[in-house]
Amino acid sequence: MYDSIRPYNIAERRRIQKASALYETHLENILDLLSARGISEETARYHHLGYIDNDPIPGHEDYNQCIT
């Protein structure tokens, strides 16, 4: 489990940034869904939302087809 008090180290930050960048490339797949929930594309991009579309990075397999 994650320790919410301990800050991420540099390696963890890079891993998270890499995953976020990958999943953001699939944002187009969920824009209609987000729009229906009142979330604009601009807001989604600002908050780095994305979608895991059948190609999760190792360790994220349980999150396949989830909004990130």
pLDDT single digits (tens) 13-36: 898 899 999 999 999 999 999 999
Task: State yes or no: pLDDT of 4 exceeds 80.
Answer: no
Place of tokens 């891993």: 15
What predicted TM-score, i.e. pTM, was given to this entire model? 0.73
Q: What is the pLDDT of residue 30?
A: 93
Per domain, the residue ranges of the chain are 10-63
Q: What is the pLDDT of residue 57?
A: 87
SS3 content of the chain, % helix, strand, coil (to 5): 50, 5, 45
Q: What is the pLDDT of residue 1?
A: 52
